Amino acid sequence: MDDVLFARGQMAMSLAFHIVFAAIGVAMPLLMVLAEGRYRRTLDPDYLSLARSWAKGTAVLFAVGAVSGTVLSFELGLLFPGFMRHAGPVIGMPFSLEGFAFFTEAIFLGLYLYGWEKLGPRTHLFAGCVVAASGAASAAFVTIANAWMNAPRGFRVESGRFVDVDPIAAMGTPFAAHEIVHGTLAAYLATAAAVAAIHAVGLLRNPRSGFHRKALGLALALSVPAALVQPLTGHWAGHEIAKGQPAKLAAIEQLQRTQSRAPLTMGPIEIPWALSILAGNSPDTVVTGLEDIPPADRAPPLVRAFFQAMVLSGILLGGHAVWSAWNWIRRRPPSGRFLRATALVGPLGFLALEAGWIVTEVGRQPWVIYGVMRTADAVTPMRGLVVPFIAVSVVYLLLSAVVIEILRRQFREAQ
């Protein structure tokens, strides 16, 4: 492997780690606030202990998310200084706004977590609402920066320099809307599905627990609508990618020939016309094949597997959501089989989130700024990048193991 690959590997490792905590930082505050809101209305103590134990988990996860996010903001320069040197002025705006949103989130999370006794009940709930809102806002802002890398706007390149820089036009990148909606929804879905799974396990072990039943209800109230809407936003994303990044669309199917009625493969099954429909709502839509993309501009073929993993996870989550909705309409209590299914699909949200992120990022390769700057040209002149790559990987694997262990213990204590 060469240094470019180690730089990409380190960035990928850091993002794959951080994105889990970032998603939780967006979604958990909403669940906490929902639980506390229920408590204030019903005065049911189960909801209070739920809000408190969710807050305890969030405190750990948010701390890890905050520090691993800091690593990323430095790594942009440490690994790809050539990118930041030119892109900084163009996309610094969303990062600055994200900075303020994150500031607000951190301040109000401090008030929320440590203010149970110091703030009045309404004020405390208000602080939680601010955390939830600013968490979503910071996710949206940082996603705009990524959208710009996929569909850059707001500058011209003149003999290697970025001129006529217009940060507002850059923020108006056509990829912003769908990436924000699809990405933020993924954060809610992944977190809520995982939370639902944890409490489904709790209910299986202790079927009479009101605590777990109410927790499951709240988590499903968030994950089910998200799972039902997510395929539509994914379709929208496919549409935009067909317009803006034909190379990525060709890569997710490894489509060789440029054609209409292009199929989409899902595992062993080939679905006729599906890629054309994804791209343009009609089987007649012509999808660019790899034959029309110069070999040097093609994305790595492995994105195909990740795309399929994302879609299959989405389908399973969607199926589970339909089942939940059916139970809800029929006012049926969750059966043992349903609880087991809930536990099984629990990790799929995060799997889909990671896989989708890899499709977005690896699918953009070999470009760091699509069509403008190649990743290899942006990398640092520093050699021996294998060393920080290994250091970061070891630290993150260790932290992941510890986080899981701590959450398990918190779960046992909450029973």
Partner 1 sequence: MIEAVAAVMLVSLIAYCVLAGADFGGGVWDLLATGPRAERQRRLADDAIAPVWEANHVWLILIVVLLFTGFPRAFAAASIGLHVPLTLMLLGIVLRGSAWAFRRYGGRARWGRIFAVASATTPIFLGSALGAITSGALRAGPDGAPELGFFRPWLAPFPLAVGAFALALFAYLAAVYLAVEAADPELRDDFRARAIVSAVVVGACALAAGLLTPPGAGHFRETLLRSPWSWPLQLATGAAAVGALWALFTRRFRTARALAVVQVALIVGGWGAAQRPYLIAPDLTLQGAAAPEPTLRLLLLALAIGSVVLFPSLWWLFRVFKRA
DSSP string, 177-223: HHHHHHHHHHHHHHHHHHHHHHHHHHHHH-TT-HHHHHHHHHHHHHH
For position 402 contacting partner 1 by CB under 8 A, the verdict is yes
Tell me how far, at minimum, the Cβ of 79 lies from partner 1, in Å: 8
Q: 168 vs 269, which CB is nearer to partner 1?
A: 168
Q: How far apart are CA 191 and CA 314, in angstroms?
A: 14
Inter-residue contact 363 to 371 (CB < 8 Å): no
Q: How far apart are CA 175 and CA 360, in angstroms?
A: 11
The residue (of 65 and 334) whose beta carbon lies closer to partner 1 is: 65
Q: Which one, of 264, 279, 273, lies nearest residue 310 by Cα?
A: 264
Residue 166 CB, shortest distance to partner 1, in Å, is 6
Judged by CB under 8 A, the number of residues near partner 1 is: 67
Our finding on whether 82 is near partner 1 (CB under 8 A) is: yes
CA distance 17 to 244: 28
* 172 is an interface residue for partner 1 by CB under 8 A: no
**Which helix (DSSP H) or strand (DSSP E) does residue 51 occupy?**
helix 45-79
Q: Which stretch binds partner 1 (CB under 8 A): 177-185, 245-253, 353-361, 374-382?
A: 374-382
Q: Which amino acid is at 295?
A: P
Among 5, 16, 48, 60, binds partner 1 (CB under 8 A): 60
DSSP 291: G
Candidate segments 159-167, 174-182, 193-201, 318-326, binder of partner 1 by CB under 8 A: 159-167
The verdict on 76 binding partner 1 (CB under 8 A) reads yes
Kindly state the smallest distance separating residue 202's Cβ from partner 1, in Å: 19
CB-based contacts of 350, cutoff 8 Å, min separation 6: 20, 23, 190, 194
Choose which of 29, 69, 128, 334 interacts with partner 1 (CB under 8 A): 69
Choose one: 37-45, 248-256, 347-355, 387-395; the region binding partner 1 (CB under 8 A): 387-395
Comparison of 44 and 166: residue with beta carbon closer to partner 1: 166
Bridge partners of 271, per DSSP, are 264
What H or E segment, with its residue span, contains residue 158?
strand 156-158
Closest distance to partner 1 from the beta carbon of 64 (Å): 5
Separation between Cα atoms, residue 137 and residue 276, nearest integer Å: 33
- Rule CB under 8 A: choose which of 37, 88, 217, 244 binds partner 1: 88
Of 102 and 338, CB closest to partner 1: 102
Residues with Cβ within 8 Å of residue 341, at least 6 apart in sequence: 320, 323
- Smallest gap, in angstroms, from Cβ of residue 126 to partner 1? 11
Residues of this chain, 110-139, that bind partner 1 according to CB under 8 A: 110-111, 113-115, 118-119
Half-sphere exposure of 309 (CA within 13 A, CB side): 18
Cα of first residue to Cα of last residue in the chain, in angstroms, is 48
405 touches partner 1 (CB under 8 A): yes
104 binds partner 1 (CB under 8 A): yes
Among the listed ranges 97-105, 173-181, 217-225, 352-360, the one in contact with partner 1 (CB under 8 A) is 97-105
3-state SS track over 239-264: HHHHHHCHHHHHHHHCCCCCECCCCE
CB atoms near residue 393 (< 10 Å)? 15
CB of 255 to partner 1, least distance (A): 37
- If binding is defined by CB under 8 A, does position 251 make contact with partner 1? no
Name the residue among 75, 77, 78, 94 with its Cα closest to residue 86. Answer: 77
Which residue of 8, 38, 86, 178 would you call a contact of partner 1, by CB under 8 A?
86
Q: Does 168 bind partner 1 (CB under 8 A)?
A: yes
The residue ranges that bind partner 1 (CB under 8 A) are 56, 59-60, 62-64, 66-71, 73-78, 81-82, 84-90, 92-93, 95-100, 102-104, 106-111, 113-115, 118-119, 163, 165-168, 380-382, 388, 391-392, 395, 399, 402, 405-406, 409-410
